[in-house]
Amino acid sequence: MDFTATLLAWYDENKRSLPWRNSRNPYEIWLSEVILQQTRVEQGLPYYERFLKNFPTVFDLAKADEDTVLKLWQGLGYYSRARNLHHTAKIVVQDFGGIFPNTYEDLLKLKGIGSYTAAAISSFAYHHPNAVVDGNVFRFLSRYFGIYTPINTGIGKKEFESIANTLISHKFPADFNQAIMEFGSIQCKPNRPDCGACVFVAECIAYRDNVIHLLPVKGKKSAIKDRYFYYLYIEKGKEMALHKRTDNDIWKSLYELPLIELDSAVSMEDLQESDEWKRLFHRTKIVVQSCSEKIIHKLSHQAIHAVFIHLVVKKSDVFPSDFIWIKKEYHHTFAVPRLIENFLIHRLAKR
DNA sequence: GATTCGTGGGA
DNA sequence: TTCCCAAGAAT
């Protein structure tokens, strides 16, 4: 058997049953692919079900508020995906009458759709022979062919896409793409794959050379930056303050507690000497109720050192206009980062 | 083209 | 504890 026949035979025997498989609805495929970007199937699956239930069609998604979309996305991370998803839904409805583009090139023009997702939609929905290259495909092909080009470079990406596009079955492009990703995910795993059970072991260059654990090659990752967040849980009667993040930074468009960010860890005394603290509270006498232990929230490239400070202020106190005052019991209707959600649910609920 | 965008699970 | 990394894309 040749490569494709071997792969498709393996897939037929070993494929998982997943809700977006066998769908040829471009909206459902697009939704699943965006949710699954840099996300494990098990983590993304419940989000896929919820999105499809709340937004059965692209028209439903297009007419929703961005805040509603972000709330449904809460906890999944990489929130630009949700904003781009919503933006693209509106484009598809307004410019294309709700019909998705059906070529790789036109799909690539949409926000949130890169080379992988364009290939996925064009092959799964329209059976066009565009090869998907995700992390699973990088790993499998780098080992099978013994390729040491770093996969996280432009050169590497082009090289592997070129190879995948020469391999892809023109008769079964959708099944081929599903199969090669499934194979990388289930059989050609990152750690200690069971090469004795592999249908490609006889031809695998990395196995022959005993370098399975060295492939794929990746360039070094950038350093982790430390940041120091002092979050203010400000109570004013039955209300509390929130703030919406708008900068091009982590958690853009999500809500959070009012924040003082400093460039180092400081004591409560020093915090109250900071310019931002004075700007917020110079005209009022606030009462500091309590202060949490430092919580270290780890992201891919940042470590957030967070402290939550509980304050009580008077009805007459005035604060910046970008503060949003909400009834305390409504906090769960706002999309917030996990760090904030954990505080609101666990710490706050204990009172 | 190197960096930056979250979160959670497993070794 | 720490590190890796998972159906990538935008800048």
**Does nucleic acid strand B have an atom less than 7 angstroms from the CB of A302?**
yes
Q: Which nucleotides of C are covered by protein (CB under 7 A)?
A: 4-10
The gap between A333 CA and B8 C1' (Å) is: 23
pLDDT classification of A351: cutoffs 50, 70, 90? low
Q: Give the pLDDT confidence score for residue A346 in this predicted structure.
A: 83
The gap between A1 CA and B7 C1' (Å) is: 41
The gap between A171 CA and C3 C1' (Å) is: 42
**Does nucleic acid strand B have an atom less than 7 angstroms from the CB of A219?**
yes
Rounded average pLDDT over A209-213: 96
Tens of pLDDT along A270-279? 999 999 999 9
Residues A216, A167: Cα–Cα separation, whole Å: 19
Rounded average pLDDT over A125-133: 98
Q: Give the pLDDT confidence score for residue A222 in this predicted structure.
A: 82
Tens of pLDDT along A213-232? 999 999 888 889 999 999 99
pLDDT classification of A1: cutoffs 50, 70, 90? confident
Query: Is the model's pLDDT at A19 over the cut of 90?
Result: yes
Query: Is the model's pLDDT at A284 over the cut of 80?
Result: no
Q: Give the pLDDT confidence score for residue A11 in this predicted structure.
A: 97
Rounded average pLDDT over A175-200: 97
Catalytic residue among A33, A161, A182, A256: A33
Spatial contact of A133 and A164, defined as CB atoms under 8 Å apart: yes
Q: Give the pLDDT confidence score for residue A301 in this predicted structure.
A: 94
- Taking C1' of C11 and every protein CA, the nearest residue is A248
**Does nucleic acid strand C have an atom less than 7 angstroms from the CB of A300?**
yes
Q: Give the pLDDT confidence score for residue A219 in this predicted structure.
A: 86
Query: Is the model's pLDDT at A289 over the cut of 80?
Result: no
**Does nucleic acid strand C have an atom less than 7 angstroms from the CB of A122?**
no
The gap between A40 CA and B8 C1' (Å) is: 9
Nucleotide nearest to A81 (CA to C1'): C9
Rank A112-126, A208-222, A285-299 by mean pLDDT and report only the highest: A112-126
Tens of pLDDT along A3-13? 999 999 999 99
Q: Give the pLDDT confidence score for residue A155 in this predicted structure.
A: 95
Query: Is the model's pLDDT at A104 over the cut of 80?
Result: yes
Residues A58, A97: Cα–Cα separation, whole Å: 10
Query: Is the model's pLDDT at A89 over the cut of 60?
Result: yes
Q: Give the pLDDT confidence score for residue A290 in this predicted structure.
A: 84
Q: Give the pLDDT confidence score for residue A350 in this predicted structure.
A: 59
Predicted structure pTM score: 0.96
> Measuring CA to CA, how many Å separate A66 from each of A60, A61, A87, A233, A325?
12, 9, 9, 25, 20
Query: Is the model's pLDDT at A347 over the cut of 80?
Result: no
pLDDT classification of A174: cutoffs 50, 70, 90? very high
The gap between A218 CA and B3 C1' (Å) is: 15
The gap between A22 CA and B10 C1' (Å) is: 30
Annotated active-site residue A33? The verdict is yes
**Does nucleic acid strand C have an atom less than 7 angstroms from the CB of A40?**
yes
Tens of pLDDT along A294-313? 999 999 999 999 999 999 99
CA dihedral A229, A233, A236, A240 (to 10 degrees): 100
**Does nucleic acid strand B have an atom less than 7 angstroms from the CB of A250?**
yes
**Does nucleic acid strand C have an atom less than 7 angstroms from the CB of A18?**
yes
**Does nucleic acid strand B have an atom less than 7 angstroms from the CB of A301?**
yes
Q: Give the pLDDT confidence score for residue A349 in this predicted structure.
A: 64
- Taking C1' of B6 and every protein CA, the nearest residue is A77
Rounded average pLDDT over A76-91: 98
Query: Is the model's pLDDT at A64 over the cut of 80?
Result: yes
| Average per-residue pLDDT for chain A | 95
